[in-house]
Structure 1
Amino acid sequence: MRQKLLQQNRVTQYLAYAIGEIFLVVIGILIALQVNTWNESRKSRNFEQEILSLIDQNLSRDSSVIAAELQKALIANATTDSILDQVEKGIFEENLYVWMAKVIRFERFKSQSSGFEVLKSKGIDAISDKDLQIDLINYYDEVLFRLSQAILDVENSFNSDWIPVVKSEFYDFDYEDRLEPRNLEDFFKNPSHIVLFKMFQDNREGSISRMEIALAEISALRASIKNQLK
């Protein structure tokens, strides 16, 4: 009887030991999974921080280029007003050569989007802030598209409307500094040329509006990114 009890006690101890071993193994697995989750979470967060930092640099560059081109466009349209006003008064002086060089040109812009392209390849969900995801998609897929189209409209007008006129009626043309018609007064007394200045100005107004919208979007995006980088 005593021997039987001893054997039963050993079985109980063995079962308790085995259960304890299983429990420790399960705990070890859970800890390993948790550590792995922490590591993956840390990697995801590090990637998010790095990609947002790169996108912020891209946006900073976009902002600088757009602001510079916007300034040129604003000067061009203000100068157009000055040209039309002076011509209307019948004043045909050499300052018009310089003014025309500021007007008969087009703005250029190409976005720096390397950060967003990397983000798209990894998945937009790498950005934890859903609103920021939407804002980034809106900027790169909508705002920049409309801006590019508006700038392209001005370039197309320059190529199709102005280039033929310049080649046929100007004998000195440096699009940065000076545009000189063969006969200044005759050039401006041609009604079609006045219409061309006004049409080009209207076209440029569209690109000015789109550049201003883009700058506002960039400012808002960079503020959101700054909050995520804290």
Structure 2
Amino acid sequence: MLKLFRKIRRKLIDDKKIGNYLLYAMGEIVLVVIGILIALAINNSNEDRIKREKEQVYLVGLKKDFETSKIKLEELIRVNRESYGAAKEIMFLMDKEQSPSEQILSELFIKAFAYDLFFIPNNSLLNEMINSGSLKDIANVELRVLLTNWIATVDDVSNQEEFLSEQRNNVIEIFRIEGHSIRTIMDRTGMSSQLGLPLQKNASSNLKVLESIAFENDILMFIITSEATEDAHYQPLMQDLNNILGLIAKEIKTK
């Protein structure tokens, strides 16, 4: 093809057809430009295809991670409600004239204060995307913004959970300071047997803690903080999580 073009160009020069030669030269330039544009278009199309395929891989991975995180958050909300619900029951016991059984108090104490609550989402893929700059491969701007804000929101929730943990520890600490027995609670709830510990021969009673104003105050702070953690942190986080999953579902291409 190039030899043919050269022969045509040489013949036009030999025949001194300068005008025709100039038109031919311009046409040749146009053909070259068109060829370059076509090559660029093909290259851009391939790059865009590769980018979209990469995005789909990320979206599928993010969907799996956020679905797992949702299950964790749902369970965390359930346990938190159970926890502050048990704390409220202890408050009701403090107002009753008749003392409850040692068994009931022990079971409520374990249910309310035995476990710290921390939301640990599956953020490994998202962190990798952010650190590598691959978050820009997510075409949906709204989804990209939500994913960027997710990390900061989780950090905020973590700070609130630390505060809630402090309130829980305050209740346990005042229980110890006032000379009550953790061992009695463990014996009554079967924890001692699970740990292979012998039961007390002369068990101490914890019922007098229901007369403690300091214990009551700490429980109230725990209840307030627990409900605030759910209302102001867990529920908005769940809304963000659902929004992210909804947008991911729209962006994933079904085969």
Provide TM-score, normalisation by structure 1. Answer: 0.83
Task: Give the letter aligned to residue 157 of structure 2.
Answer: L
- 1:66-124, Cα deviation, whole Å (9 max, x unpaired): 11011011011222222221332133211121111010132122122122222222254
Asked if 1:33 is matched to 2:44, the reply is no
Match runs of 1:69-218 below 5 Å = 69-89=76-96, 90-93=98-101, 94-104=103-113, 105-120=115-130, 121-141=132-152, 143-163=153-173, 165-166=175-176, 168-172=179-183, 173-174=185-186, 177=189, 182-209=204-231, 210-218=233-241
2:200 aligns to what? Answer: none
Q: Shift of the alpha carbon at 1:146?
A: 2.1
Distance 1:109 1:144 in 2: 8
Distance 2:55 2:14 in 1: 62
Kept in 2, the 8 Å contact 1:92–1:184? The answer is no
Q: 1:133 to 1:171 in 2, by over 3 A?
A: closer
Q: Percent identity?
A: 19
Name the SS of the counterpart of 2:16 in structure 1: helix
2:198 aligns to what? Answer: none
| Alignment gaps of 5+ in structure 1 | none
Task: Give the letter aligned to residue 204 of structure 2.
Answer: R
Q: 1:22 to 1:207 in 2, by over 3 A?
A: same
Kept in 2, the 8 Å contact 1:157–1:200? The answer is yes
Kept in 2, the 8 Å contact 1:100–1:179? The answer is no
Deviates more, 1:189-198 or 1:119-128: 119-128
CA RMSD of aligned residues (A): 2.7
Kept in 1, the 8 Å contact 2:174–2:215? The answer is no
Q: Shift of the alpha carbon at 1:33?
A: 0.8
Q: Shift of the alpha carbon at 1:13?
A: 6.9
Aligned length, in residue pairs: 222
Task: Give the letter aligned to residue 56 of structure 1.
Answer: K
Asked if 1:24 is matched to 2:31, the reply is yes
**Structure 1 residue corresponding to 2:243, chosen from 211, 220, 223:** 220
Provide TM-score, normalisation by structure 2. Answer: 0.76
Q: 1:91 to 1:28 in 2, by over 3 A?
A: same
Distance 1:111 1:74 in 2: 19
Q: Shift of the alpha carbon at 1:178?
A: 6.3
Task: Give the letter aligned to residue 252 of structure 2.
Answer: L
Q: Shift of the alpha carbon at 1:16?
A: 6.0
